[in-house]
């Protein structure tokens, strides 16, 4: 029995240690945000965050996630309270069929958590690992730029810290 | 050890300095010229120069990541400090726009800048000197017809005494022999062409030959394996670590497509080289492959036979009660992350990974390349449309990568275990690019 820390909560799973994280998320825990695309780490539909960095959950055995923080799409917000990156993807209508979008959002989230002011080149390089077969790349890129803007202004709008008020 | 290094350093200053001043601390400056107009070069000469520049890999060092081609700025880390590749576009102020052909030929053949200062041998003029004047003129025509890019080259980060270019004069006396490579009448035309390219413009030895204390290639270990950018450039002679001996035909396909089963993919610093060679005349790459094939020697004599095909391994195993052990168990990580693509008995698909028994990075004595491949993955070669191996740098901790590497080494090679793996992985991660 292994324990996975997902979206800030511990979850026990019965799966064997070598089981890919994606299978544990979807089959045991009902967290269906991450999608099964190729199952070979080639398409990015299964992207989640491990310690704030994007990983391909279909080729990541749950053994290596022990004691580390996993963030899935569900951890960014739901239908009633979408997070800034999710809102940006909705605002830009970035989804065509939508299958890749969960992974795209998680990949973008991983970028913005480390770098809220990515250049166009940084965005494109970072998002390269995720594929979209419908061809909505331009809208996806627009959504990432919008999300970066939203994350930045959220920081500007945030209540000032103790230091700033002084 | 420190004292010895310090003494060596002092000794080096005295010896090289004295030798340098006896020789020439500086060559005469050559006059600046107006930028050559593109029409003054013959189209065929420019096209020939384009191919030779690809074989010479000028673009690899003289372009930085995300920067304009040939505009320089790429850092080259050496044991002496960091040297920045210069802007070789025809910009008059920051590039070589004011360089006459005479100045260019002198730089390539003698390692001297237009202003007369000696060039550091990080610029491999010890190889380029072997090229013919006709070939060098073609490269000049190609470079001078590129788009001029204004890009100041950063200052080198070399501590004293290495910051003193006069020392290079002494270095040249000891280790530099100018002169074009003449064909060996006992060799075939193809092998002579291969030797000319490998030892000259392609400068394979700059990475694949180990260097001595003074940064010169150790000629007694020619193509015996060297270092570049935190990777090991494996031996291309009888000391090759490849578990499956290379043939010249395989080398040709590897060098032009970047991928040749069963050997694998041109990764790390070799990938841009294969990308370049995929764009030049086939007979030149065939000549390079024939020459390297001859250096590697016949496939049978005193070369290690390929290990027997592995037994099918269990691709999943129970964690048992010990969660801590599962966390750092190389076999479990292999089963969950690698087996799907790399198990010979596993699922087959178009981008199937190579059998790790034939992997040179698992079999070689130097563990750095395998740690780079696991952390960073492998980008697809230019000729391939498919995605390739993803990197696991974000998924695995250093200890997990080390555990996986130890498992791969003991399972897929007949070589002794690596030592100090955690340290190797930590250093590889520091020098790795972001995924």
- Give the residue-averaged pLDDT of B49-74: 96
Inter-chain residue contact A40 with B340, CB threshold 8 Å: yes
Chain B interface disruption, residue of A2, A18, A131, A132, most B CBs within 10 A:
A18
With 70 as the cut, is the pLDDT of residue B300 above it?
no
**E strand or H helix that includes residue B53:** helix B43-55
Beta bridge partners of A2: A13
Inter-chain residue contact A63 with B351, CB threshold 8 Å: no
- A20 interfaces chain B, CB cutoff of 8 Å: yes
Structural tokens at position B58: 């000028």
The neighbour count for residue B11, using CB atoms within 10 Å, is 10
Contacts of B220 (CB under 8 A, 6+ apart): none
Inter-chain residue contact A63 with B329, CB threshold 8 Å: yes
Which residues in chain A touch residue B390, judged by CB atoms under 8 angstroms apart? 41-42, 56, 59, 129
Measured CA to CA in angstroms, residue A34 lies from A24, A68, B37 at distances of 11, 18, 57
- A91 interfaces chain B, CB cutoff of 8 Å: no
Contacts of A102 (CB under 8 A, 6+ apart): A33, A34, A35, A45, A47, A73
CA triple B18-B19-B24, angle to 5 deg: 105
Q: Say which range, B93-97, B156-160, B341-345, B385-389, has the weakest mean pLDDT.
A: B385-389
- Give the residue-averaged pLDDT of B131-143: 98
- B326 interfaces chain A, CB cutoff of 8 Å: yes
Instruction: Give the chain B residue whose CA is nearest to the CA of A131.
Output: B387
Q: Considering CB atoms only, which of B66, B326, B337 is closest to A60?
A: B337
**E strand or H helix that includes residue B84:** strand B81-84
Can you tell me the distance from the alpha carbon of A145 to that of A149, in angstroms, rounded to the nearest whole number?
A: 6
ipTM entry: 0.91
Q: Considering CB atoms only, which of A16, A41, A64 is closest to B316?
A: A16
Which residues in chain A touch residue B397, judged by CB atoms under 8 angstroms apart? 64
Which residues in chain B touch residue A63, judged by CB atoms under 8 angstroms apart? 319, 326-327, 329, 332-333, 336
Inter-chain residue contact A64 with B333, CB threshold 8 Å: yes
Structural tokens at position B118: 């000696």
Taking only residues 388 to 407 of chain B, the set having a beta carbon closer than 8 angstroms to any beta carbon of chain A reads 389-390, 392, 394-397, 400
Is there a cis peptide before residue B88, judged by omega within 30 degrees of 0?
no
The structure's pTM equals: 0.87
Inter-chain residue contact A2 with B335, CB threshold 8 Å: no
pLDDT (tens digit, 9 = 90+) per residue, A99-147? Answer: 999 999 999 999 999 999 999 999 999 999 999 999 999 999 999 999 9
pLDDT (tens digit, 9 = 90+) per residue, B267-298? Answer: 999 999 999 999 999 999 999 999 999 999 87
**Gap from A46 CA to chain B (nearest CA, Å):** 13
CA triple B241-B243-B246, angle to 5 deg: 85
- A36 interfaces chain B, CB cutoff of 8 Å: no
The neighbour count for residue B318, using CB atoms within 10 Å, is 11
Q: Say which range, B22-31, B231-240, B356-365, has the weakest mean pLDDT.
A: B22-31
């Amino acid at each position: 029995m292994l324990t996975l820390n997902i979206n800030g909560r511990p979850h026990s799973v019965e799966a064997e240690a070598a089981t890919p994280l994606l299978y544990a998320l979807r089959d045991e825990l009902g967290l269906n945000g991450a999608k099964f695309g190729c199952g070979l780490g080639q398409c990015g539909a299964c992207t989640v965050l491990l310690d704030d960095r994007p990983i391909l959950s279909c080729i990541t055995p749950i053994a290596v996630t022990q004691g580390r923080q996993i963030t899935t799409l569900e951890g960014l917000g739901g239908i009633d309270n979408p997070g800034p990156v999710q809102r940006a993807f909705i605002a830009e209508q970035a989804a065509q069929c939508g299958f890749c979008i969960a992974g795209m959002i998680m990949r973008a989230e991983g970028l913005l958590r480390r770098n809220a002011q990515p250049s166009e080149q940084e965005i494109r390089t970072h998002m390269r690992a995720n594929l979209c077969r419908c061809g909505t790349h331009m809208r996806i890129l627009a959504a990432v730029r919008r999300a970066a803007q939203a994350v930045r202004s959220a920081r500007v709008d945030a209540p000032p810290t103790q230091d700033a008020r002084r | 050890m420190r004292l010895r290094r310090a003494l060596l350093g002092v000794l080096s200053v005295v010896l090289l300095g004295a030798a340098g001043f006896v020789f020439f601390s500086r060559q005469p400056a050559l006059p600046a010229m107006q930028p050559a107009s593109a029409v003054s070069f013959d189209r065929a000469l420019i096209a020939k120069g384009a191919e030779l520049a690809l074989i010479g890999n000028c673009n690899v060092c003289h372009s930085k990541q995300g920067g304009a081609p040939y505009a320089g700025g790429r850092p080259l880390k050496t044991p002496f400090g960091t040297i920045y590749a210069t802007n070789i576009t025809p910009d008059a102020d920051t590039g070589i726009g004011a360089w006459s052909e005479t100045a260019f030929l002198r730089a390539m053949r003698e390692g001297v800048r237009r202003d007369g200062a000696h060039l550091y041998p990080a610029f491999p003029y010890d190889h380029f000197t072997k090229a013919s004047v006709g070939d060098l003129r073609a490269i000049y025509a190609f470079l001078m017809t590129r788009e001029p890019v204004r890009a100041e080259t950063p200052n080198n980060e070399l501590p004293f005494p290495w910051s003193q270019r006069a020392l290079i004069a002494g270095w040249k006396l000891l280790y530099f022999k100018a002169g074009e490579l003449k064909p060996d009448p006992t060799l075939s035309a193809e092998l002579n062409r291969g030797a000319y390219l490998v030892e000259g413009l392609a400068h394979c030895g700059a990475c694949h030959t180990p260097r001595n204390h003074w940064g010169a290639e150790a000629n007694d270990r020619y193509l015996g394996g060297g270092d570049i950018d935190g990777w090991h450039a494996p031996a291309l002679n009888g000391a090759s670590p490849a578990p499956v001996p290379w043939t010249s035909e395989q080398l040709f396909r590897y060098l032009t497509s970047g991928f040749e089963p069963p050997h694998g993919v041109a990764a790390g610093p070799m990938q841009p080289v294969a990308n370049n060679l995929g764009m030049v005349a086939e007979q030149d790459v065939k000549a390079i492959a024939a020459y390297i094939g001859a250096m590697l020697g016949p496939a049978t004599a005193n070369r290690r036979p390929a290990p027997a095909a592995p037994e099918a391994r269990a691709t999943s195993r129970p964690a048992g009660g010990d969660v801590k052990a599962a966390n750092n168990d190389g076999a479990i990580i292999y089963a969950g992350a690698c087996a799907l693509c790399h198990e010979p008995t596993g699922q087959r698909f178009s981008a199937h990974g190579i059998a790790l028994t034939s992997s040179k990075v698992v079999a070689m004595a130097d563990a750095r390349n395998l740690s780079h491949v696991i952390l960073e993955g492998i980008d697809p070669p230019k000729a391939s449309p498919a995605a390739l191996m993803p990197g696991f740098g974000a998924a695995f901790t250093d200890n997990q990568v080390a555990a996986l590497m130890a498992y791969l080494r003991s399972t897929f090679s007949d070589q002794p275990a690596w030592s100090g793996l955690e340290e190797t992985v930590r250093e590889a991660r520091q020098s790795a690019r972001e995924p």
